[in-house]
């Protein structure tokens, strides 16, 4: 199986031999290996990939309601009895969109969904992974915390800061002007929105873990509660950008995770597919791709959507 350099050589050869543009050549090579992954696992494959690492600051990289269209296209005509392997690479996004997409996928495949994380999923992407029966991670892969953000601010941090303000002002009235300047920046109802966002995300993930990943185990409720506390702990995780790797996901968070390296052939297929997507983002204008093993794809490109069949 080709490595990073090997995939790039194949793309360049495709461009030269067939006179194709970079995007067309990247599509051809990527779909060849995505279909090969399907042939190996005998399961449906949908890749949900964002180019946020290659194009930091680009628009349209987060999970949004528009992505539902891509998933509907990708699911159409698939044999749903074969289950679904969901390749995830995303920084996260809207909780509402995430919940809606997860609900749709469960309606289509039940709980027969396996998340595969070749590199990174963060925030709401972690919520999607936690909604699957199991998560396949490599030694270098990571999930991220699920504490929600509003207007770019950590909701748990805002509430902790407000509680600190109340305490310090009560203890020392001289600090009122200092905290007035900070708390005065919050818009009306912002604190309530923060509380609701935390409750919403925690309840959603807890429910998915209890009813899907841990379903049938006698301690499902307790395991789900522990996992959510670990993943949502603003104090424990320190930052929303924290990377939570395999050992911690398994032994501390308590998720059902499988190590990709235990199946070398699966590892080769998954990493080659991952390299294909990274080359697509680095060498074309694509910022998001939702694609199945049949080559049906929604490709988001700088405010344009290309539908390919």
Which of 204, 237, 270 terminates a domain? The answer is 237
Distance CA 226, CA 231 (A): 9
Distance CA 168, CA 172 (A): 6
Dig out the tokens for 175 from the structure: 């600090």
Residue 25 shares a structural domain with residue 164: no
Least confident of 12-21, 166-175, 254-263: 12-21
- The pLDDT tens digits of the residues spanning 170-189 come to 999 998 888 888 888 888 89
Residue 73 shares a structural domain with residue 160: no
Distance CA 67, CA 123 (A): 16
Owner of token pair 């269209």: 69
- Say what the pLDDT of residue 185 is: 86
Residue 11 shares a structural domain with residue 119: yes
Which CATH number characterizes residue 294's domain? Answer: 3.90.226
% pLDDT > 90, the chain: 84
Owner of token pair 């924290």: 242
Which of 237, 257, 276 terminates a domain? The answer is 237
Residue 126 shares a structural domain with residue 257: yes
* CA nearest neighbour of 67 among 99, 44, 27, 113: 99
Residue 128 shares a structural domain with residue 155: no
* Average pLDDT score over the chain: 94
Which structural domain, as residue segments, surrounds residue 268? 4-144+243-308
Residue 78 shares a structural domain with residue 213: no
Look at the pTM and tell me if it is higher than 0.75.
yes
- The pLDDT tens digits of the residues spanning 43-66 come to 999 999 999 999 988 889 999 999
Say how many domains are in the chain: 2
Residue 272 shares a structural domain with residue 134: yes
Which of 218, 237, 256 terminates a domain? The answer is 237
- Overall average pLDDT of the 114-140 stretch: 98
User: What does each C-alpha distance from 106 to 81, 113, 114, 220 come to in angstroms?
Assistant: 13, 8, 11, 19
Distance CA 70, CA 65 (A): 10
Could you count the other beta carbons within 10 Å of the beta carbon of residue 261?
13
**Res. 306: pLDDT tops 60:** no
- Overall average pLDDT of the 181-207 stretch: 93
- Say what the pLDDT of residue 309 is: 58
Residue 93 shares a structural domain with residue 67: yes
Least confident of 5-19, 93-107, 231-245: 5-19
User: Could you tell me whether strands 257-259 and 297-301 are parallel, antiparallel, or unpaired per DSSP bridges?
Assistant: unpaired
Residue 168 shares a structural domain with residue 258: no
Q: At what angle do helices 4-18 and 264-283 cross, to 10 degrees?
A: 60
- Overall average pLDDT of the 28-36 stretch: 97
Residue 171 shares a structural domain with residue 230: yes
Residue 194 shares a structural domain with residue 140: no
**Res. 18: pLDDT tops 90:** no
- Say what the pLDDT of residue 184 is: 86
**Res. 302: pLDDT tops 90:** no
Residue 154 shares a structural domain with residue 231: yes
């Amino acid at each position: 199986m080709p490595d990073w350099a090997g995939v790039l050589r194949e793309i360049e050869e495709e461009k030269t031999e067939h006179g194709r543009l970079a995007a067309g050549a990247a599509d051809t090579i990527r779909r060849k290996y995505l279909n090969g992954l399907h042939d190996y696992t005998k399961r449906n494959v949908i890749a949900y990939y964002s180019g946020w690492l290659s194009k930091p600051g680009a628009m349209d990289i987060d999970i949004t309601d528009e992505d539902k269209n891509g998933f509907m296209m990708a699911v159409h005509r698939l044999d749903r009895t074969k289950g679904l392997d969901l390749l995830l690479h995303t920084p996260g996004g809207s909780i509402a969109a995430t919940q809606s997409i997860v609900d749709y996928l469960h309606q289509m495949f039940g709980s027969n969904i396996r998340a595969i994380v070749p590199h990174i999923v963060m925030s709401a992407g972690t919520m999607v992974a936690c909604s699957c029966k199991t998560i396949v991670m490599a030694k270098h892969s990571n999930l991220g915390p699920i504490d929600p953000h509003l207007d770019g601010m950590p909701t748990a941090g805002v509430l902790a800061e407000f509680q600190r303000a109340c305490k310090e002002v009560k203890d020392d009235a001289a600090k009122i002007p200092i905290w007035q300047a900070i708390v005065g920046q919050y818009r009306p109802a912002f604190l309530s929105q923060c509380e609701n966002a935390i409750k919403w995300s925690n309840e959603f993930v807890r429910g998915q873990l209890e009813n899907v990943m841990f379903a049938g185990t006698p301690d499902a409720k307790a395991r789900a509660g522990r996992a959510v506390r670990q993943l949502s702990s603003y104090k424990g995780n320190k930052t929303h950008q924290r990377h939570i790797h395999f050992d911690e996901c398994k032994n501390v968070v308590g998720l059902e995770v499988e190590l990709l390296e235990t199946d070398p052939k699966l590892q080769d297929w998954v990493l080659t597919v991952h390299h294909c997507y990274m080359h697509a983002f680095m060498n074309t204008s694509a910022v998001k791709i939702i694609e199945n093993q049949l080559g049906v794809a929604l490709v988001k490109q700088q405010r344009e959507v290309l539908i390919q069949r």
